Every structure is written in structure tokens, then in C-alpha cells.
Structure 1
Amino acid sequence: MSLLTINNINKAFGGVKAINNVSFELPRGQLLALLGPNGAGKSTCFNMLNGQLKPDSGSIKLEGVELVGRHPRQIWNEGVGRTFQISATFGSLTVLENLQMVLLSRDKKLFRLWTPAASYYKEEALVLLDQVGMADQADRACSVLAYGDVKRVELAMALAHDPKLLLMDEPTAGMAPKERNQLVMLVKKMVIDRNLSVLFTEHSMDVVFEHADRMIVFARGELIADGGAEDIRNDPKVREVYFGSGKSFEAA
């Protein structure tokens, strides 16, 4: 059984079909890239997967558990984590405190105000930060970090409840080429070490073709291609969508 099974999901806004009869599966331990030009339906798909939007029809199952109709917090509790294109960290808190806040939320201890938050989960937070290469910056405020380091902190926060599935929306947006590859290499290591499944959107084709295990491509709300790097690189529909011609990715 695949970890994630999406079967014939649909979503329309007025007369516009944002997602049209899309089905795909994601097995355990795979880094899957979701590609497509602007307006292809990528964000709509992501927002349905973590409960921000409800499909008009269709099924989304995580290890056989139906996610459609559940709230984002319930889906998070089932084991679905998410990072966002705009990093969602607390700039006024230290790196360590950001991790402690997530761990407190995980165990529903946020409102036990008579005990200082800094006394909770310090060791567990440091372990997570070490995994993403940020333990040596634990006492720095997130507001003074380089952008690539903020993304690492956000990744550690997303891993804090040990998700089965991680959704990453444009994880390398705004990063330099070296930072982009370092971050995705780190994610790929997590996929292997944790047997984690990752679905991510990305506009940097160099990152995608270098690191993704598999790719799916959306166009106008429909899934038009599914395969490995060579399959996608040579797919005429994909070339048409991206370039309006038979031009290859290498020639772009």
C-alpha cells in the first residue's frame, strides 16, 4: 500500500476547474516533485492535502485513512507536516525556542503558563537542530539568521512531530544555487534516514532533476505526466506546457 493515495480529486472555483480528476500515489521513502507552470493547480492540490481546502469530490488517503473533511490540525496529527514558501518561524525567538514551541504544541502544553516554556524539550529540540545542521546556532534569534538557515530551522520544526508525509511548498524560493542544492540534499537525506515521503513544488529545474526520485506535472488542473527525470525531460506534453514548443529543458 502506498503511503498517500489520491483518487480522482476535483476542485472548482466558480466555473474554473483548478483540479480536474487528478489521481496519483506516493510510496514511503520517496522524494516526489510536483511541477507545473503558474496556475497549473499545484497550490490548490497542496491546500487540499493538508485540509485548508476540501475537494469537491474524490479521495485523499494516508495509509488508508481518509483525510477529506478533516481539519488541518487533525491531518497534522495523522502525520502530515508542511513547510511554506514564506518561512513561518518566530523571528523574535531563538532557534531553540522555535523548536520548543512546536514540541509544546505537539504535546498540547502551550497553555501551562506556570512552567517556563524554556524548561521543556531542550534536548529533543537540540537533536532535531543537529539533524539539520543548526545546533550550533540554537541560541541565536531567527530574525538574524541567513535565509537558508531559516529554511533549515523551518525543516526541523516540520520534523518535530515525526511526520510520515512532508509537504514542501517552494522550499528553495529566494535561495542562491548553492543553498538550494544544500537544502534539497538535506531533505533527501531525511527521506532516506527516516523513510519519509516528501511531496514538494519547485521552480528550479536544476534542483528537481538532480534530486527528485520522481516527478508529476500539472497543467490547467490536470496531471499530464508522471515519471523519472528522463521520462519528464523527454515528454512532449511537458515541453509544450513549459516552452510552447519541442524545446528541451537543457536548451531552455
Structure 2
Amino acid sequence: MSLLQVRNLKKSYGGVAAVADVSFDLPAGQLLALIGPNGAGKTTCFNMVNGQLRPDAGSIRLDGHELTTMAPRAIWRLGVGRTFQITETFSSMTVVENVQMALLSRERKIFHLWRPAAGFHRQEALQLLSQVGMESQADRPCSVLAYGDVKRVELAIALANAPRLLLMDEPTAGMAPQERHALMALTRKLVAERNIAVLFTEHSMDVVFSYADRIIVLARGKLIAEGDGPSIQANAKVQEVYFGAGTLGRKRSPA
């Protein structure tokens, strides 16, 4: 059985169907890209899986647990991590303190402020930073980091909850090509090591076709195609949706 099962998902706004009867599966150990042109319903679908939006109909199950009635915090505690298009870190804190805060939240100690937070889980936080290549910058403030490094810190924060499912919203947005490939190569490595599932939205087609095991394509709220890179590139409906946009390129080897 797949780790994540989405069935007949629907969401409308004022009579306009943002997501219309979308279904897909995501097993552990796989990267699934969710793509489509602007207004396709990607963000709406993504946010329903995360619990930020409540679907009008349909089912979202994580390892048998129904998520559609759960708050984002409850979904997070079931093992769903998330990174954001706009990075979500505490810029005034150091790199390691950001990860320590996530570890404290995991253990529900976030409000036990009579003991310095810096004394909790430092070694575990450093181990997570080591996995994303940021241990050497552990004691630097997040505010002085390069953008690509902040993305790595955010990934370490997401991993602090030992997620079984990782949701990545435009993970390479604003990054240079070399940074994009470095981050996604790291993500693929972590997927293999931890046997986690990753659902990600992405506009950079070089990233999608280089790293996604499978791709699902939305257009006007409907799922129009699903498959591996070559089958998606050859799909007539997908070509029609992206015709003239210059965004549906050939698969490139990871840099």
C-alpha cells in the first residue's frame, strides 16, 4: 500500500473548481512532482494535503490515517514535514538554534522557557545539519547566510520531525542552477537513506525531469497526465498545456 493515498479530491471557490476529482498515490522512497501552468490548482492541492485547506470532498490518507479533518499540527505529528517557497526560518537565531527549536517542538517542550533552549538537543541538531551540509555554519545567524544555505537549513528543520512524508513547495525558487541541482541531489540522497516520500511543486522543468521519479500534471484543476519523465514529455495533452511556454524541456543530467 502506498504511504500517501489521495482520492477524488475537490475544492471550489465561488463556483470555480480549483481542484476537481484529483487522485494519486505516493509510496515511500519516491519523489513525486506536481506540475502545471499558473492556475492549475497545484498550490490548492498541495495545501489540502498539508491541512492548511479543508477539501470540499475526497480523501487524503497517510498510512491509513485520514488527514482531511486534521489540523496542520496534528498532521505534522503524524510525520509530515514541509518546506516553503519563501523560506521560514528565524533570521535572528543561529543556524543550530533554528533546528533546536524544531526538535523542541517535536517533543512539545516549546514553552518550557525556564531552561535555555540552546541547551537542548544540540548534538542531534548538529547531526541534522551535517546531513544537509551546514554543520560548519551551525553558529552563524541565519540572517547572514546565502539563500541556498537558508534552503538547506529549512530542510534540516523539516527533517527534525523524522517525517515519513516531506512536502516541498517550490524548493528551488530563487536559486541559481547549480544551487537548484545541489539541493535536489541532496533531497534524493535523503529520500534513499530515510525511505521517505517527497511531494514537490516546481516550475523549473530541468529540476522536475532530472529528479522526479514520477510526475503528475494538473490543468484547470484536473489531473491530465501521470507517469515518468519521458511519458509526460510525450503526452499530447501536456504538450498542449505547455505549448509555447518554453517550460517543458528535455530531461537533463543532474549537475
TM-score, normalised by the number of residues in structure 2 = 0.96
* 1:27 corresponds to: 27
Q: Decide whether the 8 Å contact of 1:30 with 1:197 is kept in 2.
A: yes
* 2:177 corresponds to: 177
* 2:88 corresponds to: 88
The CA RMSD over aligned residues, in Å, is 1.2
- SS of equivalent to 1:157: helix
* 2:39 corresponds to: 39
Q: Quick one: which amino acid aligns to residue 139 of structure 1? A: D
- SS of equivalent to 1:2: coil
Q: Decide whether the 8 Å contact of 2:206 with 2:249 is kept in 1.
A: no
Question: Are residues 130 and 155 of structure 1, via their aligned partners in 2, closer, same or farther at CA, if it must alter by over 3 Å?
Answer: same
Aligned mates of 1:219, 1:98 — CA distance in 2: 37
- Between the aligned residues of both structures, percent identity stands at 65
Q: Decide whether the 8 Å contact of 1:8 with 1:21 is kept in 2.
A: yes
Q: Decide whether the 8 Å contact of 2:205 with 2:248 is kept in 1.
A: no
Task: Give 1:249 deviation, angstroms.
Answer: 2.9
Counterparts of 1:128-143 in structure 2, within 5 Å, are 128-143=128-143
* 2:191 corresponds to: 191
Aligned mates of 1:249, 1:240 — CA distance in 2: 14
Task: Give 1:4 deviation, angstroms.
Answer: 0.3
* 2:50 corresponds to: 50
Q: Decide whether the 8 Å contact of 2:242 with 2:248 is kept in 1.
A: no
Aligned mates of 2:53, 2:210 — CA distance in 1: 31
Q: Quick one: which amino acid aligns to residue 16 of structure 2? A: V
* 2:145 corresponds to: 145
* 1:249 corresponds to: 249
Q: Decide whether the 8 Å contact of 1:79 with 1:162 is kept in 2.
A: yes
* 2:253 corresponds to: none
Aligned pairs, number: 249
Aligned mates of 2:43, 2:13 — CA distance in 1: 13
Task: Give 1:104 deviation, angstroms.
Answer: 0.7
Task: Give 1:110 deviation, angstroms.
Answer: 1.4
Task: Give 1:49 deviation, angstroms.
Answer: 0.5
* 2:230 corresponds to: 230
Question: Are residues 141 and 66 of structure 1, via their aligned partners in 2, closer, same or farther at CA, if it must alter by over 3 Å?
Answer: same
- SS of equivalent to 2:45: helix
TM-score, normalised by the number of residues in structure 1 = 0.97
- SS of equivalent to 1:174: coil
* 1:99 corresponds to: 99
Aligned mates of 2:15, 2:65 — CA distance in 1: 31
Aligned mates of 1:170, 1:97 — CA distance in 2: 25
Aligned mates of 1:147, 1:174 — CA distance in 2: 8
Aligned mates of 2:48, 2:209 — CA distance in 1: 26
- SS of equivalent to 1:48: helix
Which stretch shifts more, 136-145 or 102-111? 102-111
Gaps of 5+ in 1: none
Aligned mates of 1:205, 1:236 — CA distance in 2: 17
Q: Decide whether the 8 Å contact of 2:84 with 2:168 is kept in 1.
A: yes
Q: Decide whether the 8 Å contact of 1:234 with 1:248 is kept in 2.
A: no
Write out per-residue CA displacement over residues 91-142 of structure 1, whole angstroms, 9 at most, x where no aligned residue.
0000000001111111111111111100000000000000000000000000
Counterparts of 1:69-88 in structure 2, within 5 Å, are 69-88=69-88
Q: Is 1:62 equivalent to 2:62 in the alignment?
A: yes
Q: Quick one: which amino acid aligns to residue 211 of structure 2? A: H
Task: Give 1:244 deviation, angstroms.
Answer: 5.6
Gaps of 5+ in 2: 251-255
Write out per-residue CA displacement over residues 187-216 of structure 1, whole angstroms, 9 at most, x where no aligned residue.
000110000100001111111111111100
Aligned mates of 1:204, 1:109 — CA distance in 2: 38
Q: Decide whether the 8 Å contact of 1:169 with 1:201 is kept in 2.
A: yes
- SS of equivalent to 1:190: helix
- SS of equivalent to 1:7: strand
